Amino acid sequence: MSATRAPAPPYRQRAVDLVRTGRSVPTLLRHLAVAVAVALVVLLVSYQLDSYRNFQLATVAAYLCATAGLTILTGLCGQLSLGHGALMATGAYTVALCQTAFFDRGVTSGAVLLLSLVAAVAVTVTVGLVVGVAAARLRGPYLAGLTLAVAVVVPALTVTFDGIFNGEQGLPVPVAPAPAGLGLYFPHERWQLWMAAGATLLCLVVLANLVRSRYGRLFRAVRDDEVAARLAGIHVARTQVIAFVVSAAGAGLGGALLAVLAQSVSPGAFGLNLSLFLLMAVVIGGLGRLAGAVWGAFLLVVLPDLTHSLTNLFTLSPATAQRLEGNLPLAIFGATLIVVMIAAPGGVQGQLSRLTRALRALRPAGRS
Amino acid sequence: MRTTERRGLAIATTLTLLLTLTACGSDDGPGSGEPVPGVTDTEIVVGTHMPLTGPASAGYSKIAPATKAYFDYVNANGGVHGRKITYKVMDDGYNPATTQQVVRQLVLQDKVFAVLNGLGTPTHTGVLDFLHTNRVPDLFVASGSRNWDQPDRYPNTFGFNPDYTVEGKILANHVKTTLPGRKVCFLGQDDDFGQDALAGVEKVLGTDGVVARETYVTSNTNVAPQIGAFKAAGCEVVILATVPGFTALSVGTAARLGFRPQWVVSNVGADHPTLARQLGDAAGLLEGMVGLNYLPMQGDTDNPWIQLFTKVNNEHNGGAEFDGNAVYGMAVGYLFVQVLLAAGKDLTRESLVEAVRKGGYQGPGVAPLRFSATDHSGYGGGRLSRVSGGKQTYFGPTYETDEADGPVNEYTAPPVSPPANGVPNA
């Protein structure tokens, strides 16, 4: 079922919903089943891949939390945010400060990480609430401006209050090693993938359910026409704040996971570039669909790696290679964005669902 | 109903298969005959992270090519115990977050034997734990932070530069003895680099001895507020714990503000050719700048080490401009080859670290290398240099001291000469 942007979707949407609920299992159960299946695939894959790929996959999972949150906000509720990198930084710094506090007091068990992650989400939600309340009053370029300011200010705060955040050097994130029960030589990266994938799947199940819930419909109504939504009795500002808070929670968890994976946090990881990359990734992946967020998260991790191998392929003069190294990912990202916008405005996922729809249309003919 | 059942059965079967496969997956334990990562009979793969781009790349981007050139020279002379050295250089742009990524790539994907000369205090600090848990030798970090000297916590990490506290003490000692009574101010990088250096300066001059302290961050290239504060405080001597780009910025900004103090600069930010290139036509502003160094001065063409390194630079580095960074890079390469030789033919990560711990290495440096089981810091002192007539030369004796409250002493051991073919012999 796709969140169509067509002018008169409500009737069709409801019709589809009725048909679905009539014949299949409840949404929550369906989502849980998919999550369990994905978890098993990840488990299998984690044994087949080498450590570095495991680490990369864990990074994808971390980014996925953030891109999924942004998908809810931008794709579903129609609000723009250029500040999600900063929200990720909030989550990351919270987890760093919590973990350090725990370890300084001699609490080094792996379970405290859960507490730290919850704290990270809670703090980010608070920040998201403040930004969201302001954002709900703004439209278009003003909203972009506000969130842009957040993206620039938050990393700068870490330098201004370097007593707490230790400036550009950043903070360490002490993390307990994999449980001893897994064996002495259990690769740390595989454990990291398990942690990140577990948290991300939980986050995705919650978000997917939200999309299918009353709130999902409210978000879509507000996105498609605010006036119509207001006439239908929807509190537009409140809905927008809720969307912002939900997406902030995703970003906070994503940032916290990134910090746990890197075992350190520094402002350089959460600059303005990250915020822009996140938005680009969501758009390229396919705005408005959680599956699109998955493609986006993959792109965020694969692209820099790809360009690095690309520059290594050619024997360039050191100077040219250096110049390409930093800038090529940006250029490729930009070019991809333009191509996707022209050729497939629905992003990767939109293109895929068009393909499957075309295949489905062919199938009955083939069978009979 | 039937489709649901069939679907359920299909899913159940798939899951069972997946689980079985997973159970069969192997845990990689360390088998007894497991090969050493990055080492074969013919090759040793070593990696590093360097700021090839970004705010700290000025000058520093030339270090890794110089080290690589020296390795190529050694390879052309038969390698070490028959093995050629491959040096993988990754750009981290002096951004700690990128360092995390590239070092993981080096260790997990490229499977390097060791990380050599990773550059930067904020950048390298972030990967210490990762390298430690992966048991990767982390040799000769290109920074003078005291973080590298923690044998109990990071038994495989060793520094190279004199630590910034030692350096701060020697620089401050110079100020105290030759420029007594002047108002001294301090500008440092806003991390352990700046803090360690300031600690050293204050050990000698006392906390009251520094009139104004300022810090800078590499992501902000405007130092006018800091320099303005120094001018307002009436500073006569400014001690800089800065990377080359920010030494040049400070000197240039001061000139614009009509402020001409005596500059006293940490070794990592005092390479004259690098600064002169940055300042361009304004290179004359560097006249009289006092710096510290512990390796042969690039312009000293009579020095046998400089002759050797110039030759290597011409043969294997495309005749790149020969500055302090080139000397530094080659000195690192020379020391690494010495250690590899000492580690013996049966090269493992353990034997390499053990070889460094044994210490007793002598190379191009004018100051002593201090490696031992309990000391993982690098050079233990240095000699002061001054720019005069557009040329940077040493003056006075070589000093050595410790990072605690010990006095600053003269170091008198004579320098050694390089071996005839330029490759250390066991």
Distances (CA, A) of A69 to A202, A239, A250, A285, B271: 13, 15, 5, 13, 48
Mean pLDDT of chain A: 85
Task: Spell out the domain ranges in chain A.
Answer: 9-270
pLDDT band of residue A258 (cuts 50, 70, 90) is very high
Q: What residue type is B167 in one-letter code?
A: E
CB contact under 8 A, B218 and A168: yes
CB contact under 8 A, A326 and B54: yes
CB contact under 8 A, A47 and B96: no
pLDDT at residue number B263: 96
* Contact residues for B191 (Cβ-Cβ < 8 A; gap 6+): A166, A167, A168, A169, B121, B122
Residue B93 pLDDT exceeds 90 = no
Pairing verdict, β B138-141 and B157-159: parallel
Which residues on chain A are in Cβ contact (under 8 Å) with B101? 304
pLDDT digits (tens, 9 = 90+) for B147-174: 899 998 899 999 999 999 999 999 999 9
Assigned token pair, A46: 């984690």
B317 close to B410: Cβ distance less than 8 angstroms: no
CB contact under 8 A, B122 and A168: yes
What is the CB-side half-sphere exposure of residue A43 using CA atoms within 13 A? 18
CB contact under 8 A, B53 and A52: no
Residue A275 pLDDT exceeds 80 = yes
From the list B53, B61, B96, the residue facing A266 with the nearest CB is B96
Q: Name which of B400, B384, B405 is nearest B262 in CA terms.
A: B384
What is the CB-side half-sphere exposure of residue A10 using CA atoms within 13 A? 12
3-state secondary structure chain A: CCCCCCCCHHHHHHHHHHHHHHHCCCHHHHHHHHHHHHHHHHHHHHHHCCHHHHHHHHHHHHHHHHHHHHHHHHHHCCCCCCCHHHHHHHHHHHHHHHHHHHHHCCCCCCCHHHHHHHHHHHHHHHHHHHHHHHHCCCCHHHHHHHHHHHHHHHHHHHHHCHHHHCHHHCEECCCCCCCHHHCCCCCHHHHHHHHHHHHHHHHHHHHHHHHHCHHHHHHHHHHHCHHHHHHCCCCHHHHHHHHHHHHHHHHHHHHHHHHHHHCEECHHHHCHHHHHHHHHHHHHHHCCCHHHHHHHHHHHHHHHHHHHHHHHHCCCCHHHHHHHHHHHHHHHHHHHHHHHHHHCCCHHHHHHHHHHHHHHHHHHHHHC
Compute the nearest-CA separation of B192 from chain A (Å): 8
Which residues on chain B are in Cβ contact (under 8 Å) with A174? 129
Which residues on chain A are in Cβ contact (under 8 Å) with B54? 326
Degrees, nearest 5: CA angle A25-A30-A31: 155
pLDDT digits (tens, 9 = 90+) for B307-342: 999 999 999 988 888 999 999 999 999 999 999 999
Which residues on chain A are in Cβ contact (under 8 Å) with B19? 40
pLDDT at residue number A362: 84
pLDDT at residue number A3: 41
Q: Name which of A4, A153, A13 is nearest A85 in CA terms.
A: A153
ipTM score assigned to the predicted complex:
0.70
Distances (CA, A) of A301 to A191, A274, A294, B77, B351: 19, 12, 11, 41, 36
Residue A323 pLDDT exceeds 80 = no
From the list A44, A52, A267, the residue facing B109 with the nearest CB is A52
pLDDT at residue number A317: 61
From the list A37, A47, A270, the residue facing B25 with the nearest CB is A47
From the list B14, B52, B130, the residue facing A325 with the nearest CB is B52
H or E stretch including B330?
Answer: helix B324-343
Compute the nearest-CA separation of B405 from chain A (Å): 26
pLDDT at residue number A1: 37
Chosen for mutation from A100, A169, A301 (greatest number of chain B CBs closer than 10 Å) is A169
Which residues on chain B are in Cβ contact (under 8 Å) with A172? 126, 129
Degrees, nearest 5: CA angle A150-A156-A160: 130
Task: Confirm or reject contact between B372 and chain A (CB < 8 A).
Answer: no
Query: Topology of B164-293 in CATH?
Result: Rossmann fold (3.40.50)
H or E stretch including B131?
Answer: helix B128-133
Q: Name which of B225, B226, B150 is nearest B194 in CA terms.
A: B226
Q: Which percentage of chain B shows pLDDT scores above 70?
A: 92
Q: How far, in Å, CA of A217 to CA of A223, rounded?
A: 10
> What does chain A come to in residues?
368
Cβ pairs A/B, distance under 8 A: 115
Phi and psi at residue B241, to the nearest 5°: -110, 80
Q: How far, in Å, CA of A89 to CA of A92, rounded?
A: 5
What is the CB-side half-sphere exposure of residue A184 using CA atoms within 13 A? 3
Task: Confirm or reject contact between B31 and chain A (CB < 8 A).
Answer: no
Chosen for mutation from B21, B60, B100 (greatest number of chain A CBs closer than 10 Å) is B100
Mean pLDDT of chain B: 88
Beta strands in B81-223 (DSSP E): 84-91, 114-116, 138-141, 157-159, 184-189, 210-216
Task: Confirm or reject contact between B108 and chain A (CB < 8 A).
Answer: yes
CB contact under 8 A, A185 and B11: no
From the list A47, A51, A167, the residue facing B217 with the nearest CB is A167
Assigned token pair, A144: 């972009």
Residue A56 pLDDT exceeds 80 = yes
pLDDT band of residue B55 (cuts 50, 70, 90) is confident
CB contact under 8 A, B108 and A325: no
Compute the nearest-CA separation of A240 from chain B (Å): 33
The sign of the dihedral angle between the CA atoms of A240, A246, A252, A254 is negative
pTM for this prediction: 0.79
B347 close to B39: Cβ distance less than 8 angstroms: yes
Q: Which residue has the higher pLDDT, B9 or B24?
A: B9
- Domain B43-162+299-382 sits in CATH at 3.40.50.2300
Pairing verdict, β B237-241 and B409-411: unpaired
Query: Topology of A9-270 in CATH?
Result: ABC transporter involved in vitamin B12 uptake, BtuC (1.10.3470)
CB contact under 8 A, A322 and B95: no
Give the pLDDT mean for A21-47.
86
Which residues on chain A are in Cβ contact (under 8 Å) with B191? 166-169
Distances (CA, A) of B218 to A26, A201, B8, B55: 54, 38, 58, 6
CB contact under 8 A, A269 and B95: yes
Q: How far, in Å, CA of B92 to CA of B103, rounded?
A: 9
Q: Which residue has the higher pLDDT, A176 or B361?
A: B361
